Amino acid sequence: MKTLTIIVLIATPLLAFAGGLVGHLLLRRGAKELDRWRKREETMRLLRWAVELATDPEPARAQAGITVLGALLDSELLDAVDVELVATVAGAIALGVTGPPPLGPPPSGPPPSGP
């Protein structure tokens, strides 16, 4: 009986500590995932805003958008996947490719003549 009492006295605090530790680790992992999601959401919000500015017909606003894209590329907000996305978007804007690609195959043959 005395042995059972000693086991209970030792096992109870150890099991409580282990449960608290597991709970803390799970909570911390969830917090890290939430933090990553928030950073990515903020990155995409900044990217949309910068693209809207960069494609603006007013030169000052377009320059501001390009500057924001450059700053976003240099920031620590971006994950490796996001760096590639932002770099591709910035490259497309730098080349002036801002419209959607044409639908269908390119026309073949000579252009139609007028009346």
Output the pTM of the full model.
0.59
CA dist 47 to 3, 12, 75, Å?
66, 52, 12
Mean pLDDT of 74-99: 81
Measured CA to CA, the distance from residue 83 to residue 96 in angstroms comes to 20
Q: Are 72 and 47 in contact (CB under 8 A)?
A: yes
> What kind and span of H or E run contains 15?
helix 2-54
The predicted pLDDT at position 112 comes to 60
The predicted pLDDT at position 111 comes to 58
Q: Please give the structure tokens belonging to residue 66.
A: 């390009």
Q: Mean pLDDT in the chain?
A: 83
Q: Which residue has the higher pLDDT, 69 or 109?
A: 69
Segment 42-80, tens digit of pLDDT: 889 999 999 999 888 888 988 899 899 889 888 888 888
Per-residue pLDDT band for 107 (boundaries 50, 70, 90) equals low
Residue ranges of the domains in the chain? 1-95
